[in-house]
Structure 1
Amino acid sequence: MISNQILQNTIDGLKAIARVDFCVMDVDGKEAASTSLSMSGGEAETVEFAKSPADSQEIRGYQYFKIYDEQQPEYILIASGIGEDVYMVGKMAAFQIQNLLVAYKERFDKDNFIKNLLLDNLLLVDIYSRAKKLHIQTDVRRAVLVIETGADRDSNILETMRNFCGSSSKDFVTAVDENNVIVVKDLSEGDSIKEIEKSAESIEAFLMKEGMAQVHIAYGTVVREIKEVSRSYKEAKMAMDVGKIFFDERNIIAYSELGIGRLIYQLPIPLCKMFIKEIFGGRGLDEFDEETLTTINKFFENSLNVSETSRQLFIHRNTLVYRLDKLQKSTGLDLRVFEDAITFRIALMVVKYMNYMESLDY
């Protein structure tokens, strides 16, 4: 339940205060942490003590104490030395580790609950009963943020984010796979969507300061009931995927900003291919030269304004008109007509989506 490193840090701190060496063993006699090499061994005595009815016992010049998890021995704490003072110090150390065990168990239970909540693995009645048991409020405004970095698998991003949020935070930090860290953010009643954006920017700045590159953050809409947290998570996941396709220049993206990209992302690939074939008559987008594609994109950026587009491209207005006429002859679409421009714009997005999905297959 508690990592060996946490146990080691704990008994190192206790030794620095009490000047007593400690060793923590599991009930099978395997050492979990120790402050002295001379305390290694004693497996047989530990196993025998674990099976005995005593809570504490003096064995061969050492004080033995049981540490329980739900009335079952979980660890055996051994304190070096005999006498009333060592006994008292050992009793206090066992109490400290006992409380640590309870705290970590509650944290584990909460983390497990949040994971199952995000993945829709809980019945509605279980959501509210378990939330009550774990002292988690059910009617708080929350939003889910999904964080992805280009860091290698050895980087413990999850613990880094937990340190960033702090142990006193009402936010939940967890992970359901190796690729993303999830933050279930607790929002005050007066907080707006801008507060989530600010939090995302703070997280991005913190992770970049920690040396993690390629930070991408996506977040879903605000929900008011704990049962709806999974919906905000699904929205954040979709925002992450759609953002990579249509908003690749942005590191932070909201589900509410996806626009038509959200609809295109849900289209089946065969339907997309059929649509592109109808629009371009079997031609691929790669058949358009770079000059034509640059002209098209700049024309869209300037809201179909011929004069402004030609100015930004440093070409004569008539040259732009010639290019648009040429495009109309090859595709049958006149980008100066709003309806044709919308059709062409959607076609470009569909092609981008298809290319992205094909890249995932390799």
Structure 2
Amino acid sequence: MPVLRRTRLHAFHAARGGRFVDFAGWEMPVQYKSILEEHRAVRTSVGLFDVSHMGEIVVRGPDAGRFLDHLVTNEIAKIAIGRVVYSPMCREDGGVVDDLLVSRRSEQDYLVCVNASNVERDYAWMRSRADDFDCAVDDQSDRWGLLAVQGPNAPALVQELADRPLDGVRYYHCAEAVVGGVPCLVSRTGYTGEPGYELFCPADETEALAVALEKAGAAHGLALCGLGARDSLRLEAGFSLYGHEISETISPIQAGLEWTVKFAKPAFVGREALLEQKTNGTARRVVFFKTGDRRIVRAGTPVLCAGSVVGEVLSGTLSPMLGEAMGSALIDTARLSDPLSVDLRGQPVALCTTKPPFVPLRKS
């Protein structure tokens, strides 16, 4: 069996009762006490997530912005210093290599946050396309820790520990600050739909930052949260997960992420394929659904219409806030307006398609 990697907080999690699972080759806490309690804590107070398994790739140089504009579907080169942009990174056929967060730290310096399961592949992909650009691509994943502080009480908690006012850091912006005595890139982003920050810090200071947040967080109702709550929160918010709602075979157009594809900018990888999909449509589209039933509809479950298979469930779990099952599915476009259902142990369950988010969100 391969040896699982661990973040710098493994002992921190173990000491606090974290239950570990293998996630993308990392031994990560899936929960502490209850996924439902952790989920509700983020919606009502504040939660702390260790997401140090994510990758960080730095792109620097005179052509850094132009290179990233060529590589990803969203617009990068023209964004202001301190802005953060979400974008898919596509293949020539429009399939998604990965989805990224790109933070512009200075005129020629961008920090690219990538999914844990894709770090090596993303780095190789980026390097292989950098030859015509005057920039350096550097995988710095081992040098960074990353903590997510999410929930309505997150801004007050992080501000309490910060050495500068953070109220000027708007949604999808970032700034340098010292938090709990640890130098951080404070990014007003997250994967829950709630207010909060993602704190990039030196890897060897991750535990000091986590301890400071945990101690100060007691007065704010802080809960330690694992990957289980992270997944239910992102799905409740309607956010895509790589390998589920977007993948090498599900494009941004199919996934409902057309807003991330800037056709007006200069040529980028995948542009022609994505433009063809936008113009002529796609055979299948991603939809979100709820069921009115508490039984979870698992990924891979066939979606039925009049007895025929017309799609497949991509993600599924229980919404702790709604008390019913929710999920996403890839459906034949011609059947999107027809009645859809799944078979759960011989019983038909109707899928009610809906536009996410499933619950009201605050985000910023």
Q: Give the greater-gyration-radius structure (CA).
A: 1
User: RCO higher in 1 or 2 (8 Å CA, sep ≥ 6)?
Assistant: 2
* More strand, by proportion: 2
TM-score (norm 2): 0.28
